[in-house]
């Protein structure tokens, strides 16, 4: 199954990779030469090859995050030549192929950088802040067994389609890495937009946006200053319009929360 070396023009590159042994250790760029690469190999397969070579030389391989390798799980997270997920539009790191580079190129590879994404090792960062934002309110409460008949609640097709546009977010964090403020607004807005557009999501709409935004702030993400780098870097091309929608929801929810009387209800009963 070996691809013959002469059938496709193989390329050689210099890989300039961020190496960092642990969260507290100092990091630095290290250069590696990689020769005879088939341009049809994916960027992550190139890293596999480099890592096997390092292993054979007795060096520790480069740690990088990856899993599905088809652009849907959101695990891979490299900044390639300064761009989160590298060259190409609407793709994740795992969908970058070596044919995007030329023979002799120097390719700089870094982790997604943000204060809220501490580095674990080399190119692997900790994105658990995203999970905590979801846990704060990124859901519709619906216990198993309690759901009404699915077609009891029609959803206008345009709303369902727009909700789906937002729901395609893969939670990779490229939006944060691309933003000069390390803002997570696109990520949060995508979930707020998805659930807020659906009739099922109305009961918790105010509570959701307030909880998710306050958790986002507490996790150390910055704010949006309308540069839209997030949308440009997003592998699913989620529109920054959802940020405007979230801001509107947040404002409304804040005002309503200030004037909303609280129920005196307490537990107990006959």
Partner 1 sequence: MATLDPKIPSGPLADKWRKHKTDIKLVNPANKRKYEIIVVGAGLAGSSAASSLADMGYKVKCFVFHDSPRRAHSIAAQGGINAAKNYQNDGDSVHRLFYDTLKGGDYRAREANVHRLAEVSVNIIDQCVAQGVPFAREYGGLLANRSFGGAQVSRTFYARGQTGQQLLLGAYSALSRTVGAGLVELHTHSEMLDLVIVGGHAKGVIIRHLVTGAITRHSADAVILATGGYGNVFNLSTYARQSNATAIWRAYKRGACMANPCYTQIHPTCIPVSGDYQSKLTLMSESLRNDGRIWAPKKKEDAKKAPADIPEADRDYFLERIYPSFGNLCPRDVASRAAKRMCDEGRGVGETGLGVYLDFSDAIKRLGEAGVRERYGNLFDIYHEITAESAYQQPMRIYPAVHYTMGGLWVDYNLMSNVPGLFVLGEANFSDHGANRLGASALMQGLADGYFVIPYTIGDYLAGQKPGARPSIDSAEFKAAADGLASATKRFLDTKGKQPVSHFHKRLGKIMWDHCGMARTKEGLEAALQKLPALREEFHATVNVPGSADTLNQSLEQAGRVADFIELGELLCRDALTREESCGGHFREEYQYPDGECKRDDEKFGHVAAWEFQGEGKAPLRNTEPLNYEFTKMSVRNYK
Nearer to partner 1, 33 or 55 (CB): 55
Least CB distance to partner 1 at residue 227 (A)? 27
Nearer to partner 1, 73 or 244 (CB): 73
Nearer to partner 1, 29 or 139 (CB): 139
d(CA 22, CA 97): 29
- Which letter does DSSP use for residue 91 in this model? -
d(CA 124, CA 139): 27
Nearer to partner 1, 151 or 266 (CB): 151
d(CA 46, CA 168): 28
Return the number of other C-beta atoms located less than 10 Å from residue 128's C-beta.
12
Site string for partner 1, 1-20 (x = CB under 8 A): xxxx--xx------------
Cβ proximity of 97 and 43 under 8 Å: yes
Nearer to partner 1, 104 or 158 (CB): 158
In which residue are the tokens 């993400």 written?
221
Least CB distance to partner 1 at residue 154 (A)? 3
Touching partner 1, residues 44-83 (CB under 8 A): 44-46, 48-49, 51-52, 54-56, 58-61, 63, 65-70, 72-75
Cβ neighbours of residue 237 closer than 8 Å, sequence gap 6 or more: 89, 90, 231
In order of 54, 58, 98, the CA distances from 176 in angstroms are: 31, 35, 25
Interface with partner 1 (CB under 8 A), residue from 110, 184, 185, 194: 194
**Chain centroid to CA 41: how far?**
23
Verify binding: residue 218, partner 1, rule CB under 8 A.
Answer: no
Question: Residues 128, 134, 137, CA angle at the centre, nearest 5°?
Answer: 145
Least CB distance to partner 1 at residue 226 (A)? 27
Nearer to partner 1, 92 or 230 (CB): 92
Nearer to partner 1, 25 or 255 (CB): 25
Q: Residue 56: enclosing H or E segment and its boundaries?
A: helix 43-56
d(CA 270, CA 156): 43
Least CB distance to partner 1 at residue 248 (A)? 19
Interface with partner 1 (CB under 8 A), residue from 9, 12, 14, 200: 200
Site string for partner 1, 145-164 (x = CB under 8 A): xxxxxxx-xxxxx--x--xx
Touching partner 1, residues 95-114 (CB under 8 A): 95, 97, 99
Touching partner 1, residues 17-36 (CB under 8 A): 21-22
Touching partner 1, residues 111-140 (CB under 8 A): 120-121, 124, 126-128, 130-131, 134-140
d(CA 32, CA 107): 10
């Amino acid at each position: 199954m070996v691809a013959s070396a002469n059938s496709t023009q193989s390329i050689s590159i210099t890989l300039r990779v961020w190496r960092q042994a642990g969260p507290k250790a100092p990091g630095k760029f290290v250069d590696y030469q990689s020769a005879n690469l088939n341009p049809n190999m994916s960027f992550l397969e190139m890293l596999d090859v480099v890592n096997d070579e390092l292993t054979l030389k007795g060096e520790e391989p480069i740690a990088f995050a990856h899993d599905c390798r088809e652009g849907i799980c959101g695990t891979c997270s490299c900044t390639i030549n300064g761009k989160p997920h590298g060259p190409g539009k609407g793709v994740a790191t795992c969908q970058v192929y070596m044919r995007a580079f030329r023979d002799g190129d120097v390719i700089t590879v870094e982790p997604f950088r943000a204060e809220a994404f501490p580095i674990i090792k080399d190119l692997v960062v900790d994105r658990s802040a995203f999970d905590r934002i979801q846990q704060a309110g990124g859901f519709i409460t619906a216990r198993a067994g309690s759901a009404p008949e699915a077609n009891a609640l029609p959803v206008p097709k345009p709303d369902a389609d727009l909700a789906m546009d937002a729901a395609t977010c893969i939670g990779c964090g490229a939006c944060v890495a691309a933003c000069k403020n390390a803002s997570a607004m696109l990520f949060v807005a995508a979930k707020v937009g998805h659930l807020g557009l659906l009739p099922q999501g109305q009961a918790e709409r105010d509570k959701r946006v307030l909880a998710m935004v306050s958790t986002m702030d507490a996790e150390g993400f910055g704010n949006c200053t309308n540069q839209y780098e997030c949308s440009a870097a997003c592998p699913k091309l989620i529109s920054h319009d959802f940020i405007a929608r979230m801001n509107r929801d947040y404002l409304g929810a804040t005002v309503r929360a200030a004037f909303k009387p609280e129920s005196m209800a307490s537990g107990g009963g006959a």
